[in-house]
Structure 1
Amino acid sequence: MTCRSFLLIAGFLLVGVAAAPTVPADTIDLVGGGQISGRILEKKGSNDTGTVIIAINDQMKLAVPMAKVSKLLLDSEFAGYSKAAAAAGDDPEKHYELARLCATQELTAHRNYHMQRAIELDPDHSKARSALGYVQSGKGWILFEEQQRNRGLINSGGWKLPEAIALEEAKDEAALTAKRWHREVASLRKAALSNNKNAAESLAALQAIEDPLAAEAIADELAKSAGGKQPKAMRLLWVQKLGQFRNGPAVQALTLAGVNDADPDVRDEALNQLTQFGWRSAAGLYVQMLDPKKSSNRDVKNALAALLRAPDPELWRVYADALVTTHETEIPAGAGTNAGFSQNGNGSFSTGSKKVVIKEDFKNPDALLLLREIAPGADFGYNKQAWLDYFAEQLTSYNGGLNRDL
Structure 2
Amino acid sequence: MFTEFYFRSSSSTTFLVCLLFSITAFQVPGNCDLIKLKAGGEIRGKLQRHDSDTEEIRIIETLSGSRIAVAARQIEFVTNRPLSVEEYETRARQISDTVQEHLELAEWCSENHLISQRHEELEKVLLLDPDHAKARAALGYTNRDGEWMTRDDVMRKNGYIKYKGRYVSTAELELLEKNEAEIAEERKWFKKIKLWLTLMNSNDVQSQQDGLKNIQSINDPFAVAALARLMGKHENYLVRSLLVTTLSQITGDKPLRPLAELALSDPLQAIRESALQALSRRDASQAIVYFIEALKNRSNLIVRRAGEGLEVIGDESVVPELISALVTSHTYRVRVPDTSSTYSFGANGTFGNTGVVLPPEIEAGLLAGRYPNGVIVLPSQQPRVRMRTVSVKHNHQNEAVLSALQEITQQNFGYNQRLWQLWWSSTQNKTGIVPVVQ
Larger CA Rg, structure 1 vs 2: 1
If asked which structure has higher relative contact order (CA below 8 Å, sep 6+), I would say 2
Q: Which has the higher helix share?
A: 1
TM-score (norm 1): 0.47
Q: What is the TM-score normalised by the length of structure 2?
A: 0.44
